[in-house]
Amino acid sequence: MRQDIGAADLPRLLSMVCATMPFDEHDGWRRYLALLADLLRSAPTAPLPPLGPGNS
């Protein structure tokens, strides 16, 4: 997993995938979940911007 991913990122990332479910009648959301998992495994090309205040 990327070293710059924190616990506060995971609920947001999963919410993004879940947001595609109501619009998808053919389980295509699985593609986005697999893409997200692959992106988390990739070596980062640049550090992520910092989290906003109140998000740890």
Please provide the DSSP assignment of 19-52 as one string.
HHGGG-SSSTHHHHHHHHHHHHHSPPSSPPPPPP
- 28 in any annotated domain: yes
Predicted confidence (pLDDT) per residue in 3-14, tens digit: 888 888 889 988
- 53 in any annotated domain: no
- 15 in any annotated domain: yes
- 24 in any annotated domain: yes
Domain count, the chain: 1
Predicted confidence (pLDDT) per residue in 32-46, tens digit: 788 788 888 767 667
Domain span holding position 20: 9-41
Model confidence, pTM: 0.59
